[in-house]
Amino acid sequence: MYEGTPLTERGSWWAAGALPDRITVFRRPTLAIARDRDDVVAEVRITVVHEIAHHFGLDDARLHELGWG
């Protein structure tokens, strides 16, 4: 989960008192869909790339087009 303000939405107001952006990967849902350690590693990688893309302003539709849906 990405919590923050995407770079594309930041203005001159953003830096004043804004909290740092944060990405959270939830352990239990990740483990629930993984068959083994390699699946966990792959799912965490996909999730982190997906959430970093949100930081750069990409939405879910564009990520899906790029194969990161």
State the CB neighbour count (10 A cutoff) for residue 47.
Answer: 19
Q: What is the DSSP letter of 2?
A: E
pLDDT tens profile 31-67:
999 999 999 999 999 999 999 998 999 999 998 898 8
List Cβ neighbours of 21 (8 Å cut-off, separation of 6 or more): 2, 3, 4, 5, 55
Task: Indicate the pTM of the whole model.
Answer: 0.76
The domain spans of the chain are 22-69
**CATH of segment(s) 22-69:** 3.30.2010.20
Closest CA to 58 of 21, 68, 1: 68
For position 69, what pLDDT does the model report? 66
Which secondary structure element, helix H or strand E, spans residue 45, and what is its range? Answer: helix 37-55
